[in-house]
Amino acid sequence: MRNLVVVLLIAAASVSTIAQAPVTIFVDADGGFSSAMAAAFLKKKVPATVVADKDHAEYVLRAAPVYSKDESGAGKVARCLFLDCAGMNGFSTVSVELIKKDDSSIVWAYQVRKANSGPVAIQSLSEAVAKHLKDDYLKKQK
């Protein structure tokens, strides 16, 4: 009887370990945004592993190209003359889709816009995507 209990405990531990294994995600994005997404997954503690080989992934996170628009010097002056200096540094936006590889279904999608541009925007956009992927999709799958 004692051996049976030990075997059942080991089996239960194995099942819980399998159930808690992180999903694998391949990030399909332009070079800079792909690297930023991998860093954001680590920073935001996303319960997923980013893989470099699409064949080893359960999901593909496909991102549209990041769109950035800088505010011109004349636009900044005109905006501030009317006391609306918000958005003076331009803006950036990106859209992403999480695709389940086995059936090609889109299981989650997100679009984010941040009021800045350049490298700061890439980091900000990627962290927003990682946070929402974690909170809106991955946490609900457990």
The candidate with the shortest Cα–Cα distance to 61, out of 73, 49, 69, 71, is: 49
Quick one: DSSP state of residue 65? Answer: P
What is the reported pLDDT for 16? 42
What is the reported pLDDT for 117? 74
Element at 97 (helix H, strand E): strand 91-100
Residues contacting residue 27 through CB under 8 Å, at least 6 positions apart? 33, 34, 37, 38, 50, 60, 61, 63
Task: Give the chain's domains with CATH numbers.
Answer: 22-141 (3.30.160.150)
pLDDT 10s digit of each residue in the chain, 142 long?
Answer: 444 333 333 434 444 444 567 899 999 998 789 999 999 999 999 999 999 999 999 999 999 999 888 765 555 555 555 555 554 567 899 999 999 999 999 999 999 999 887 778 899 999 999 999 999 999 988 6
Q: Which residue has the tokens 């989650």?
A: 108
What's the rounded Cα separation, in Å, for the pair 55 and 47?
20
Checking DSSP bridges between strand 23-28 and strand 48-50, what pairing results, if any?
A: parallel
